[in-house]
Every structure is written in structure tokens, then in C-alpha cells.
């Protein structure tokens, strides 16, 4: 499993566990729903800034390397 798969799975698993649709997450994060879907399916490499936008409404914290 690649890092892109790990990130995508975490976002999808958290989103679905909270009962949030891709469209709802898109509105909350101001990120295009098709982009979120592609990130969840490991089709896109996501920037740190966009990843932070997606993670914030899900309550996920980005932990950066020291």
C-alpha cells in the first residue's frame, strides 16, 4: 500500500464513519468533490494545503515531521 492509498483510505473511512458525503465534505472544505474522490481513490497526489483543508472538517490532525 502506498502513502496515497493510506491517506485516501483514512479520509474515506473517517468521512463515512461520520456520515458525511463527498459533496458535504467538499462544501465544508471548499475543495471540489471530484478532487476529494480522486484523493480518496489514490488517483491524485494532494498538496499539504489541500490536505489540511480536507482534514479540518473531519477533525483529522496533520502531524508534520520535526
Q: Residue 38: what pLDDT?
A: 98
- At 17 the pLDDT is 98
Q: Rounded CA gap, 44 and 38, in Å?
A: 6
Query: Residue 37 above 90 pLDDT?
Result: yes
44 or 13, higher pLDDT: 13
Give yes or no for residue 66 having a pLDDT over 80. no
Write the Ramachandran bin of 7: left for phi over 0, alpha for psi from -120 to 50, otherwise beta. Answer: alpha
Domain limits, the chain:
3-58
Q: Per the structure block, which three cell numbers stand in for 40?
A: 480518496
Query: For the domain with range 3-58, which CATH number is right: 3.40.50.150, 3.40.630.10, 1.10.260.40, 3.40.50.1400?
Result: 1.10.260.40
Summarised one tens digit per residue, pLDDT across range 5-22 is 999 999 999 999 999 999
Amino acid at each position: 500500500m502506498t502513502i496515497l492509498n493510506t491517506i485516501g483510505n483514512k479520509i474515506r473511512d473517517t468521512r463515512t464513519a461520520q456520515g458525511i458525503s463527498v459533496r458535504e465534505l467538499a462544501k465544508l472544505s471548499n475543495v471540489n468533490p471530484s478532487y476529494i474522490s480522486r484523493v480518496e481513490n489514490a488517483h491524485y497526489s494532494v498538496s499539504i494545503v489541500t490536505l489540511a483543508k480536507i482534514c479540518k472538517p473531519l477533525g483529522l490532525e496533520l502531524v508534520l515531521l520535526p
